[in-house]
Structure 1
């Protein structure tokens, strides 16, 4: 009898040890974060969003971001503004408005440098079209102080055409720009198609070009990352090439982490938006992305504050190394968001 019990216990232990660990672990990137501070209070009657930071050649910090009047709408009235500071802590000085228009809204910028050229990509939308019909623009400059020249191919990624699965593209927004290993140029972006009828699910797609200004062509096997078949969204990608690997930080908009862990979700309790930690993916070719890890935390986890929407990740680079992570945050104070220091990140 004793022998049988031991055998049964051995079988239980064996199968328990063989059970696959589905947990989404915290990445070394996230573990390196040291909470900083909330920054960039909006002027009276305005709110600001999506901080895109970059240093110039003299190590002055420039931040480009969206500004929206309180009595307006970001889908109609957003503009891109420019601030400078000596360091992420501030204080910040308003410089000028980069892009504003009576016919289009400019929103969610991301800024990069390629040799001696600065590259700004952004959401571009005709203010008279329905909210979902967003597109993508690009502009370049030899100086962060401008002037900025918009590409003659704008909108470089349109809310039209076909995805790799044959679905019709109805939306393209929230771009991130990368010079790839082959010296060509990539724009990863949030896409939405009509593949699921009236249901609209956010996915991550890719467009490529031999020239910064374009024209850009959609990758034939889009979307690259999608959980649309699960009824889940993913968006706000920030992609970069570091130590010969591609990385992508995204907002986990509807609980992808829990789904991948095999947990039962209660959709009635899932608030859409950045109420959860973000995710980070790694890829050797920037096409095939593996299983994610936790990429950043919420304002509640960093600061102990009341939970707010933490979105739009952007890295501030210094001498080719990631120095700070900036995150937009809808909070009760007037700040655009906050930053955390990236301290000693060693990629796996």
Structure 2
């Protein structure tokens, strides 16, 4: 009888633990709750498609957007360039200003724009047209005006598709950068990294490089990667990092169902649909090095607008007077737009 009761107690504890595990919820963040859907914007000219909008206001509060432009008949890894548009508000209309970066030998892709004092900083994916698709690197350029001229760093590519990570594995891919000035006055670039640690599979992680100077040279953080789910064979990418109200934040694309895995209900590998088909995640950190468990950071186009689900990726914040005003998201669907924006209305970090 005692054995029977003891067995029931053990089974009860196991059942309780399993139930709690299955009921774990990665909740929607206050940041995501503050979003008010806006509109799709920045239609591409015929024969082209736009991607990855990086917005910023100039000193007169004119809106500038830098983004990728790719010919429909081309390949982004060979033919992408960075173009520049302006508008008086996120709703537009938008006016084409110039092609900021284009090359016969390299592709320029996925820009992110920032301002440090009187200097504008543009970071981007930089890839030699002739190298394999995995061999992506990172470049940086600066200017005193959003209309240029832009000066590329003599250290470009500032983060190469080679070198050592903190765990002594080899970097074979560095892309999709986000730049910020940290609270110590140093400069950080968080980026998507892939190493050779998991051959033959490749998993997207988030790593960090630091410098005392905007133009570099940048050195990889000794304990990279900072955020990784490679052991679960899951990816995150498209990080956008910022420092706000004494905390670091990072918004990322949940590429393969990290949220599902953390909630105890992983998507079977053969059923995972990668690439922007689920809500993104947001992390916060006191030091920008140690990141806790995420919350939901943004929704899909289906959730915001009730439209057919499409790839919602590449989060960027439009700042105004030091406050986050809008979130821009790339969205690749049947519409020719680059994506859409949502207003950040009354976000109070918790």
CA distance in 2, matches of 1:164, 1:15: 39
Note the C-alpha offset of 1:248.
Answer: 0.1
1:1-348 to 2 correspondence within 5 Å? 19=20, 22-348=24-350
Contact 2:257 2:266 (C-alpha < 8 Å) held by counterparts? no
| Distance of aligned partners of 1:305 and 1:210 in 2 relative to their CA distance in 1, 3 Å threshold | same
Structure 1 residue 18, shift from structure 2 partner: 9.6
Query: By how many angstroms is 1:169 displaced?
Result: 0.4
RMSD: 1.6
Q: How much does 1:22 deviate?
A: 2.2
Q: Give the 3-state SS of the residue equivalent to 2:198 in structure 1.
A: coil
Q: 2-side partners of 1:221 and 1:22: how far apart?
A: 29
Deviation at 1:15? 5.0
- 1:16 to partner: Cα distance: 7.6
Once the 2 structures are TM-superposed, how far is the Cα of residue 268 of structure 1 from its aligned partner? Answer: 2.1
Q: 1:16 to 1:168 in 2, by over 3 A?
A: closer
Q: 1:264 to 1:207 in 2, by over 3 A?
A: closer
Separation in structure 2 between the aligned mates of residue 17 and residue 271 of structure 1, nearest angstrom: 27
Looking at structure 2, the residues matched to 157 and 318 of structure 1 have their Cα atoms a distance apart, in angstroms, of 30
Residues 263-272 or 46-55, more deviating: 263-272
Residue 129 of structure 1: SS of its match in structure 2?
Answer: coil
Q: Deviations over 1:11-48 (max 9, x none)?
A: 88x95899365210000000000000000000000000
Q: CA deviation at 1:270?
A: 1.0
**What do residues 125-176 of structure 1 show as CA deviations (whole Å, max 9, x unaligned)?**
0000000000000000000010000000000000001111111100000000
CA positional deviation for 1:263: 0.5
Q: CA offset at residue 110 of structure 1?
A: 0.1
Partner Cα distance (2:43, 2:167) in 1: 43
SS at match of 2:303: helix
Q: Return 5+ residue gaps in structure 1 as ranges.
A: none
CA deviations 1:230-272 (Å, max 9, x no partner) are 1001000000000010000000000000000011422222111
Distance 2:174 2:79 in 1: 18
SS of corresponding position for 1:29: helix
How high is the TM-score relative to the length of structure 1?
A: 0.95
